[in-house]
Structure 1
Amino acid sequence: MNIIQNVAVVSTGTVAIRPEHVARPSTPMLWWLATSRRWTAPRPINVYVIEHEKGLVLFDTGQDRASVTDPDYFPGGLNGHFYRRLARFTIGPEDTLTTQLARIGYDIADVTAVVVSHLHQDHIGGLSELTHARILVGRAELDAARRRSAELNGYLEKHIFLPGLRWEPLADELDLFGDGAITLLPTPGHTPGSLSALIRRAGRRPLLLVGDLTYDVTLLEQGIIPGVGDRAGLLASTRHVAELAAQHPGLVVLAAHDPGAQRLLAEADRP
């Protein structure tokens, strides 16, 4: 029996980032962030949609359109300057999470669980529409989002801790439905509480959703880590992914901003 009926990907707009963000340079982040003059081509802001026999699950919730329409969405001052230096977003009226789900035949009201890879703002944009669902997130991630330095580290508290959200903090692995189909795994490095999700499907290749552990799976395979996050943690989680690939032949790794993710998922769906 196929417990996972379908896995799909939608995108809530696009983001351009610095090349140094994608592949870690030798210079410190604050240096390249302050001096880089280059941007990547627009990259997707992916949300993965997993149709399980026990409910509809999202992995991440994308970017809020308000981030490009509300002048007060981002902080001001020096912190706001760094946010503007880090990323450029393009999000149209049709790029909301609700609209993108409807485009592929799903109603956001039917989402039963949301796995948030981490709490940076391009992964939490749909949370305000998901107060009816379980919200699973790393315990260390919630702790990081409450620290005094949270805003400088990419956490916008006013967009995270919304009224009515049903947080379920995780400190370890979790078999989401107790059937081995969706296993949540700590993969810290990009942030302290980053999560990945291993998806096992009958008759299809296994999938590993990794959030921002990488921005390009070809770089991940080469052991090249991104420029944002803790180096030792990123390297350790990259090794963990390699171990998972050895344990699960044919494993397909899908990242939040990899332009090749949609193609990789389509190829993984072929019998």
Structure 2
Amino acid sequence: MKAVSVVSTGTVRIRPEHPYGSRKPMYWWLLTSRQWTPPRPINVYVIEHTRGLVLFDTGQNRASVTDERYFPGGLTGYLYDRLARFDIGEQDTLTAQLATLGYAPSDVDTAILSHLHQDHIGGLPELTGTELLVSAAEWAELSRPGPEQRGFLRGHIQLPGLKWHQISPEPTRDPALAPFTESLDVMGDGSLVLLPTPGHTAGSMSLLVRRTGRPPLLLTGDLTYGADILQRGQLPGVGRRRQLSQSTRQVLALEDQQPGLVVLPAHDPTAAQRLLDS
């Protein structure tokens, strides 16, 4: 492992009920909320591994703020408009952000998608030569009825020329991963280990990054929207509550097995500094 960095493909404002949860049903608060959070980053984690350059998530596509045809029309489009407000400049594209680290999209060997929501798949058009890993459970969501209404924009995911690989966790008896009983060793050397953390979506995954002589990292996608929120056991307002609760408990228990574990969600405003400090 050479280095782990974070870049941001712009910012997003969401409803407070989204990161902090609500007793109201999701569609109720989505349609009635009048508040937005302060801007939160749309993080992409860049892993410089000895076996190649790896991304965890790919950010939001700038076309989502420049192309009026990017989102569906009708009621579905209205719900997307109620859900989030994006600010993505020319300097926020995945290509531009990778350039700040001295890389181009063609340098990316592997991109791992924590899940397939819009603000994680935005860089896909720039990654035509990259091996794309997604959980089989997540990919199956695209075939269920009404994927767009459930946050999966198939037209921006199933693009021609992309190299998709569906993966599934395998049984593990590694005591260092307890209480997780399934995992997937991405590189075969234990440095990058995918863990199933469903709840936000059915196939959501987190990535454990083990670094020699430095604290391990856990990239959690949208399981939580802040490390502090996770520590409180507070569940976000989007997803299946029972699965979110179980995955949250597992991650909190994993911290006992991985001393100094640094949890890095996709939209945590403190993530970049905490990664730097680690």
TM-score greater than 0.5 by the shorter chain: yes
Q: Secondary structure at the match of 1:199?
A: strand
The residue number in structure 2 matching 1:215 is 225
Identity %: 60
Matched to 1:189, the amino acid is: G
How far apart, CA to CA, are the structure 1 residues paired with 2:120 and 2:152?
Answer: 11
Give, in whole Å, the separation in 2 of the partners of 1:86 and 1:146.
Answer: 23
- Cα distance in structure 2, aligned partners of 1:154 and 1:59: 19
Are 1:68 and 2:78 matched, yes or no?
no
TM-score computed with the length of structure 2 as normaliser:
0.94
Q: Are 1:18 and 2:15 an aligned pair?
A: yes
Supply the distance in 2 between the matched residues of 1:188 and 1:256 (Cα, whole angstroms): 15
d(CA) in 1 for partners of 2:39, 2:204? 23
Please tell me whether the aligned partners of residues 146 and 157 of structure 1 are also in contact (alpha carbons under 8 angstroms): no
- Secondary structure class of the residue paired with 1:148: coil
Distance (whole Å) between structure 2 residues aligned to residue 169 and residue 72 of structure 1: 29
C-alpha distance in structure 1 between counterparts of 2:45 and 2:134, whole Å = 15
Choose which of 165, 174, 189 in structure 1 pairs with 2:184.
Answer: 174
Q: Does residue 5 of structure 2 align to residue 8 of structure 1? A: yes
Whole-angstrom distance in 1 between the partners of 2:168 and 2:146: 22
Provide the C-alpha distance between the structure 1 equivalents of 2:126 and 2:13, rounded to a whole number of angstroms: 25
Q: Which amino acid aligns with 1:117?
A: S
Q: How far apart, CA to CA, are the structure 2 residues paired with 1:186 and 1:168?
A: 16
Matched, 1:190 2:187: no
**What does the per-residue CA deviation read over 1:109-167, in whole Å, with 9 as the maximum and x for residues that have no partner?**
11100000000010001111112111111111111122222111100010000111111
Q: Deviations over 1:195-249 (max 9, x none)?
A: 1100000111100000000001101011101000000010011011012111100
* 1:90-123 Cα shifts (integer Å, max 9, x gaps): 0001110011000121222111000000000100
Where 2:30 maps in the other structure, the secondary structure is helix
Structure 1 distance, partners of 2:90, 2:128, is 22
Q: How far is the alpha carbon of 1:8 from its aligned partner?
A: 0.2
> What is the distance in 2 between the residues matched to 1:117 and 1:145?
15
Q: CA RMSD in A?
A: 0.7
Which of 231, 244, 261 lines up with 1:251 in the alignment?
Answer: 261
Q: For structure 2, list consecutive stretches of 5 or more residues without a partner in the other structure.
A: 170-182
With structure 1 as the length reference, what TM-score do the two structures score?
0.96
In the alignment, the residues of structure 1 paired with residue 215 and residue 102 of structure 2 have an alpha-carbon distance, to the nearest angstrom, of 23
Deviates more, 1:123-132 or 1:30-39: 123-132
Q: Determine the structure 1 residue equivalent to 2:179.
A: none
Partners of 1:246 and 1:168 in 2: CA distance: 32
Give the Å deviation of 1:193: 0.3
Letter in 2 for 1:112: D
For residues 23 and 149 of structure 1, the distance between their equivalents in structure 2, rounded to whole angstroms, comes to: 26
Which runs of structure 1 show a deviation greater than 4 angstroms over 4 or more consecutive aligned residues? none
Q: Which of these residues, 89, 103, 108, is aligned with residue 105 of structure 2?
A: 108
Checking the alignment, whether the CA contact within 8 Å between 1:119 and 1:145 is kept in structure 2 is no
- In structure 1, the gaps of 5 or more residues are none
Cα distance in structure 2, aligned partners of 1:224 and 1:62:
24
Q: Describe the SS at the equivalent of 2:245.
A: helix
| Count of matched residue pairs | 265
- 2:113 is aligned with 1:141: no
1:165 correspondence with 2:162? yes
Query: Does residue 46 in structure 1 map to residue 55 in structure 2?
Result: no
Give the equivalent residue in structure 2 for 1:227: 237
